[in-house]
Amino acid sequence: MFDALAERLEDAWKKLRGQDKISQSNIQEALKEVRRALLSADVNLQVVKDFVADVETKAQGAEVLSGVRPDQQFIKIVYDELVQVMGETNIPLAQVDTAPTIVLMAGLQGTGKTTATAKLALHLQKQNRTCLLVATDVYRPAAIDQLVTLGQQINVPVFELGADADPVEIARQGVARAKETGVDTVIIDTAGRLQIDQDMMGELARIKQTVQPHETLLVVDSMTGQEAANLTRTFHDQIGITGAILTKLDGDTRGGAALSVRRVSGQPIKFVGVGEKVEALQPFYPDRMASRILGMGDVLTLVEKAQEEIDLADAEKMQEKMLTAKFDFSDFLKQMRLLKNMGSLGGLMKMIPGMGKLSADQLQQGETKLKQSEALINSMTAEERRNPDLLASSPSRRRRIARGAGYTERDVTNLVSEFTKMRNLMQQMSRGQMPGMAGMGGM
Ligand code: GDP
């Protein structure tokens, strides 16, 4: 899927390959390709514009890393931005403490709303959550039958009052039934129309008002393309959604909708439909989607490799600084971030002697420390960052920094002392001594 998009992006990388760094001029061609690629994938125009502008800013601001090919650096920037636009992590369905969790399904007719209702119930069942489905689409009697049949198939009860009842009343009674029977989650299927229609919106709004759902999920057909943005905007403005389900991703569909829905509503895509069967529902993972949109089977490997090289280039630079003792607070912060990003310290430890002693526990504490250090260093002036000795001799500077960051003067003192220790360690290392390594048996 998204083959065309993949090819276009491939072209964009090619334009950067062979160049020795990302620059103002060579980036323009690559950005044009990204723009064309996304447009041809039916990503909404405004979304494309914003996306490309963000990528441009990031690419231009990106430090040129020696040893990393510019196309690799660029692919990483585009990939990261895609992941970020689509929400970074998977956000699961809400679950409230006082059951039932109420889920309202919304969307146009034919998007796969009724199917998604059953799929969601099956998914929750597998997590030992019990469900009740509520059929409020009285305009298409077949829709009620369809939900009842699906319910039987997955062994989940369906609440319905036939095709003559008022949808708002069905929803209200359905939720009441869910409370009586103590089910964990009640999922309300609603009527769709072929297009946005004020009657449909009015009814949805009334149902929402009456049952006060914890989740209102917009079901979007991924074939919708450009229109997905307008559709999402209308539903979000008029009803207010908390998330979306993107259906029919198994088909010959383009990637546009995934980008547009998130960007327009700010709400996460929670699931994707990947087939007609009730089992065909998967949690939405922005990183997987990003690599699908980029379209190359091995794009993840590529991105990982780029990341590795970026880390490596960073580490090498850092080591150089350490050895020449030009290490300042900005480097200190960068190094802490790097350690955190690495997850596994393997690669870096090899490069920095003396670092091998960190335990998992210390790494955990490091996370908290990193936040604090970041805040403190951010409230330093550029001069103080470059010249840490200024702080050692000035309590008033330390107080100002502490106040600015919301910490105590003691925290600043500790930071300065840790920094000094690390710098001393480095100076020793640069003189060829290995502090703390004595007696480690030739390691
Ligand atoms: P509703 O009108 O929104 O309730 O849509 P339905 O649930 O009735 O689905 C409309 C059609 O789309 C049916 O034929 C479904 O089998 C099909 N469908 C729903 N979800 C998917 C999906 O994720 N992949 C595929 N290939 N078909 C789907």
Q: Note if the bond before 100 is cis, omega within 30 degrees.
A: yes
Centre of ligand 1 to C-alpha 194, Å, is 14
Strands 269-273 and 281-283: antiparallel
Longest dimension (CA), the chain: 87
Residues with CB under 6 A from ligand 1: 107, 109-115, 192, 247-248, 250-251, 273-276, 280
Out of 3.40.50.2020, 1.20.120.140, 1.10.10.10, 3.40.50.300, the CATH code matching 3-89 is: 1.20.120.140
Query: Residue 221's pLDDT is what?
Result: 94
The answer to whether the beta carbons of residues 228 and 257 sit under 8 Å apart is yes
User: What is the percent of the chain with per-residue pLDDT over 90, rounded to a whole number?
Assistant: 41
Centre of ligand 1 to C-alpha 25, Å, is 46
- CATH node for 101-284: 3.40.50.300
Among protein residues, the one with the nearest Cα to ligand 1's atom 9 is: 112
Centre of ligand 1 to C-alpha 126, Å, is 21
**Which tokens sit at 268?**
């996460």
Q: Measured at the alpha carbon of residue 249, what is the angle toward residues 245 and 252, in degrees to the nearest 5?
A: 150
Query: Residue 292's pLDDT is what?
Result: 72
Centre of ligand 1 to C-alpha 117, Å, is 11
Ligand 1: which atom is nearest the Cα of residue 275?
Answer: 24
Range(s) for CATH 3.40.50.300 in the chain?
Answer: 101-284
**Residue (of 84, 441, 41) closest to 287 by Cα position:** 84
Question: How many other CB atoms sit within 10 Å of the CB of residue 213?
Answer: 23
Query: Residue 417's pLDDT is what?
Result: 86
Helices 286-294 and 3-16 pack at an angle, to 10 degrees, of 80
Q: Decide: residue 308, CB within 10 A, 0-12 exposed, 13-18 middle, 19+ buried.
A: middle
pLDDT digits (tens, 9 = 90+) for 221-264: 988 878 899 999 999 999 999 999 999 988 766 667 888 999 99
Beta bridge partners of 135: 189
Centre of ligand 1 to C-alpha 129, Å, is 24
Residue-averaged pLDDT of the chain: 81
Beta bridge partners of 215: 103
Centre of ligand 1 to C-alpha 247, Å, is 8
Among protein residues, the one with the nearest Cα to ligand 1's atom 28 is: 276
Per-range mean pLDDT, top range of 136-145, 147-156, 370-379, 399-408: 147-156
pLDDT of 436 strictly over 60: no
Displacement of CA 288 from its chain's centroid (Å): 10
The answer to whether the beta carbons of residues 283 and 271 sit under 8 Å apart is yes
pLDDT of 443 strictly over 70: no
Query: Residue 306's pLDDT is what?
Result: 62
pLDDT of 415 strictly over 80: yes
Ligand 1: which atom is nearest the Cα of residue 140?
Answer: 2
Q: How far apart are CA 91 and CA 96, in angstroms?
A: 15
For residue 196, report the phi and psi dihedrals to the nearest 5 degrees: -55, 135
Binding residues: 107-114, 189-193, 247-250
Among protein residues, the one with the nearest Cα to ligand 1's atom 27 is: 276
Query: Residue 354's pLDDT is what?
Result: 43
Beta bridge partners of 221: 247
288-292, 355-359, 393-397, range with the lowest pLDDT = 355-359
pLDDT of 179 strictly over 90: yes
Helix (H/G/I), strand (E/B), else coil: 39: helix
Among protein residues, the one with the nearest Cα to ligand 1's atom 19 is: 112
The answer to whether the beta carbons of residues 86 and 115 sit under 8 Å apart is no
Q: Please list the alpha-helical segments (H only) found in 162-197.
A: 167-181
Provide mean pLDDT across the span 253-282.
89
pLDDT digits (tens, 9 = 90+) for 58-73: 887 776 665 666 777 7
At residue 325 the predicted structure's pLDDT band, cuts being 50, 70 and 90, is: low
Would the pTM count as exceeding 0.90? no
pLDDT digits (tens, 9 = 90+) for 334-344: 766 666 555 43
pLDDT of 280 strictly over 50: yes
ipTM given for this complex: 0.99
Ligand 1 test: best mutation among 140, 158, 195, 276, most atoms within 8 Å of CB?
A: 276
Range(s) for CATH 1.10.260.30 in the chain?
Answer: 324-430
Among protein residues, the one with the nearest Cα to ligand 1's atom 20 is: 112
Binding residues for GTP: 107-114, 189-193, 247-250
Centre of ligand 1 to C-alpha 230, Å, is 21
Query: Residue 7's pLDDT is what?
Result: 62
**Which tokens sit at 208?**
């929402």
Out of 2.40.50.100, 3.40.50.410, 1.10.260.30, 3.40.630.30, the CATH code matching 324-430 is: 1.10.260.30
